[in-house]
Structure 1
Amino acid sequence: MLKLFRATAILEGISYLALFGVTMPLKYWAEIPEPNKYVGYAHGVLFIAFIALTLIVGFTHKWSFKKVFIFGIASLLPFATFYVEEKYLRSEDNA
């Protein structure tokens, strides 16, 4: 389950950056809205999966509320899912 969570964290971060760094400018500056629709759907699914897996893994591994909260906040900030994957998930996977 932890490997799936790590992969979801990375993919969610990539989708976040693709959505706001690539497809939003295409939509509003180049007037090409199609990529934004599909990347937006993918990001939405990955965001929900990340939050659900945060709760599932947090409960399974008996994480503190603070740690679960940090993962929740990380889902909202660019690059933060990469940070929490590196800092918390890799160290826990190796333990």
Structure 2
Amino acid sequence: MSGSFLRYRILAYTTGVLLVLLCFVAIPLKYLADHPGPVAVIGTAHGFLFMVYLVTALDLGVRLRWPWLKLGLVMLAGTVPFASFVAERRAAQDVRARTRPA
């Protein structure tokens, strides 16, 4: 499970950073400075990595037997700025609680 969790953490942070850059840097540059280049690059990267994020979140959720609602919320966290960081932190707490020695 540690490999699955590590993949999820990396993609949660990467997807979150790209979404924040897209929303707060690239989109304002496109509409305020008429410079659409960053939206094309960052938006494409975020879109591709979001699909990979969904697969890794699903893999982790199935391995941990998360309820469907929790899994859905974790998967949707990549669409709201800063939400993937919160979801990753809560997932980390859950994984640590489950793997803690008895």
**What stretches of structure 1 of length at least 5 have no aligned partner?**
none
Distance 1:12 1:49, change over 3 A: same
**Number of matched pairs:** 95
2:66 to 46, 63, 69: 63
Q: TM-score, normalised by structure 1?
A: 0.89
Counterparts of 1:12 and 1:92, CA distance in 2: 20
Q: TM-score, normalised by structure 2?
A: 0.84
Aligned partner of 2:90 in structure 1 is 87
Aligned partner of 1:11 in structure 2 is 14
Aligned partner of 1:54 in structure 2 is 57
Letter in 2 for 1:52: V
Counterparts of 1:76 and 1:37, CA distance in 2: 17
Shift of 1:61: 2.1
**What stretches of structure 2 of length at least 5 have no aligned partner?**
none
Contact kept? 1:23, 1:35, Cα under 8 Å: yes
- 2:25 matched to 1:22? yes
RMSD over aligned CA atoms reads 1.5
Please say which structure displays the higher CA radius of gyration.
2
- Runs of 4+ residues deviating >6 angstroms: none
